Amino acid sequence: MDAIKGRRILSGIQPSGILHIGNYFGAIRQHIQLQKDNECYYFVANYHAMTSSTDAEKLREHSMMVAIDYLALGFDPEEAVLFMQSDVPEVAELAWMLSTLTPMGLLERGHSYKDKVAKGIPANHGLFAYPVLMAADILIYDAELVPVGKDQKQHLEMTRDIAEKFNLAYGETLVIPEELILPEVAVVPGVDGQKMSKSYDNTIEMFTSKKALKKKVMSIVTDSTPLEEPKDPDNSVIVDIYKLFATKEEVEEMRQKFLAGGYGYGHGKKELFERIYEYFEPHRQRREELEQNMDYVEGVLRKGAEKARAKATEVMDRARDNVGLLRFL
């Protein structure tokens, strides 16, 4: 992480619901770490969220919640840029340009599209063309690096393919981004053992109430091994999540308790709950302060949008000229 300096980095997060610890350890924590030594652009992907929701009020609410969460977790508006995707409408124009060169076959091979349709999400054009808009999100800011998890590599590969086709057709216009797969990125298990995801309804939220957090942690699925018998810590969701919050020595201590017997899953869940609550407590207090100062939050987003749109305008002017669009305004 320390070796990554002086690069332009771009990432976005969908406002599809309340953020959870999987979002934090899988992306947000790394975003916060990268902001100090790099030129970072982070956006709330509210255009993308429209592919799976038509509730306007929830979209507005969740979009602001993401912004508040980022600020509460350590985003520094003096170091990086935070903005709403929809505050840069040029991204939709670039997406159209890119779509005229994007092969249907490329989109048909998209893993994410297939997975979401298999889960019952309606197969609309926005969902199908999602990779094109994502490519525009990246390319419109001349992003050099894009942090991705291993399961998101295909989307960035598609972005690179689309950008290369564009440059081949119209000359060197778009910066070809590189993937940034961080070793620190964690695939966080949900309470059912699958990858933590809002679509699986298995998440543990960062900023829920103490009572609700405890209830969620205590709902972690375990086997029926009796209290007094030894348990396998290497196949335990409790231990896997605990690793994110504890030192190696503390994790080993929990492992030994499970192996020794006389230590039940309920005991482990209680320790995990306390550790999660303590970890996010300072951020929870900061979040409460931000909720009482929405003028500040909106000011951060406004300034972020101005910076982002200035960069996007620069790239779009280059793209419009190279594709041959006449401009009289």
Q: pLDDT tens for residues 21-31?
A: 999 998 999 99
* pLDDT value at residue 111: 78
Percentage of the residues of the chain whose pLDDT score is greater than 90 = 84
Q: Which of 20, 6, 3, 1 is nearest to 201 (CA)?
A: 20
Task: Judge whether 8-187+294-323 and 207-289 match in fold.
Answer: no
Per-residue pLDDT tens digits for 121-138: 777 898 899 999 999 999
- What are the residue numbers of the active site? 116, 195, 198
Rounded average pLDDT over 152-160: 89
Q: Tell how strand 145-147 and strand 178-180 pair up.
A: parallel
The pairs formed by 103-112 with CB atoms below 8 angstroms and a separation of 24 or more are 106/131, 106/158, 106/161, 106/162, 107/131, 107/132, 110/154, 110/155, 110/158, 111/154, 112/154, 112/155
Of the two residues 151 and 311, the one the predictor is more confident about is 311
Rounded average pLDDT over 275-297: 97
Q: CA angle at residue 313 from 136 to 155, to 5 degrees?
A: 10
Q: Which of 11, 67, 7 is nearest to 41 (CA)?
A: 11
CATH topology for 8-187+294-323? Rossmann fold (3.40.50)
Confidence (pTM): 0.93
Q: Could you give the angle at which helices 294-323 and 265-291 cross, rounded to 10 degrees?
A: 80
User: Quick check: 230 pLDDT over 90?
Assistant: yes
Q: Per the structure block, which two tokens stand in for 92?
A: 């939709």
* pLDDT value at residue 70: 98
Per-residue pLDDT tens digits for 232-254: 999 999 999 999 999 999 999 99
The pairs formed by 233-242 with CB atoms below 8 angstroms and a separation of 24 or more are 233/258, 233/259, 236/268, 237/189, 237/190, 237/191, 237/193, 238/265, 238/268, 238/269, 238/272, 239/268, 240/189, 241/21, 241/188, 241/189, 241/204, 241/272, 241/276, 242/268, 242/271, 242/272, 242/275
Please give the Cα distance from 16 to 116 (Å, whole number).
14
Residue identified by tokens 């076959």 is: 105
* pLDDT value at residue 150: 72
* pLDDT value at residue 185: 62
User: Quick check: 49 pLDDT over 80?
Assistant: yes
- Every domain of the chain and the residues it spans: 8-187+294-323, 207-289
What beta strand segments (E) does the chain contain?
Answer: 8-13, 39-44, 81-84, 145-147, 178-180
Please give the Cα distance from 105 to 96 (Å, whole number).
17
Please give the Cα distance from 276 to 253 (Å, whole number).
17
* pLDDT value at residue 216: 97
The verdict on domain 207-289 having CATH code 1.10.240.10 is: yes
User: Quick check: 20 pLDDT over 70?
Assistant: yes
* pLDDT value at residue 109: 87
Please give the Cα distance from 62 to 15 (Å, whole number).
5
Under the banding of pLDDT at 50, 70 and 90, the label for residue 186 is: low
Mean pLDDT of the chain: 94
